[in-house]
Amino acid sequence: MLIEKSKERIILGIDPGTAVMGYGLVKETGNKLSLINLGIVKLDHLDDHPLKLQRIFERTSSLIEQYQPDCMALEAPFYGKNIQVMLKLGRAQGVAMAAGLAKNLPIFEYSPKKVKQSITGNGNAGKEQVAAMLQQLLVFKETPEFLDATDGLAVAVCHSFQKISTSGKSKTYSGWESFVKDNAKRVK
């Protein structure tokens, strides 16, 4: 009898920013997710925007070299009132993407609303709600110093959740309770 080994993949999630970039890495084994690492890259002490972009590229590249992820998921910049902020966020995202592309990683992008919806069931959830849900889901107690770290982690988890409907049968849920009922093994 042939026993198939559970497929594993490592997902790097990035929440791009020019003041603080958040990142998170998860290991997916079948339907089980486990936390590898999460953290931030502080950039607010740098005054030069091109230097910030260089640091984002270098740090993203070193995360890829260190953890050897199978893919990268990024949070898309959202349109706010200040177009200059959006342009800077777009550059930060592009530089992080370029680091992944330089290592031949598949790149995936999710809107902030999609990420929050995937993690909490509410596309308008606050950063604190997202962080609390991730602590339950991935069973960790430490509260990161910056919520940007859990935002980066949320993007990785969101990407992992997207494979649920790739089995040929698409399933939608009316709320968190129905998801938990059908996915009891994935929730701790």
Which of these is catalytic: 75, 109, 128, 182?
A: 75
Residue 148 falls in the annotated catalytic set: yes
Radius of gyration of the chain (CA): 17
Q: Are 39 and 60 in contact (CB under 8 A)?
A: no
Q: What are the helix (H) ranges across the chain?
A: 49-67, 83-102, 112-120, 127-138, 147-162, 176-182
Which of these is catalytic: 4, 15, 70, 142?
A: 15
Handedness of CA 114, 75, 69, 21 (dihedral sign): negative
Which of these is catalytic: 148, 151, 177, 182?
A: 148
Taking the C-alpha atoms of residue 179 and residue 171, their distance in angstroms, rounded to an integer, is 10
Taking the C-alpha atoms of residue 34 and residue 26, their distance in angstroms, rounded to an integer, is 6
Residue 15 falls in the annotated catalytic set: yes
By annotation, the residues acting in catalysis are: 15, 75, 148
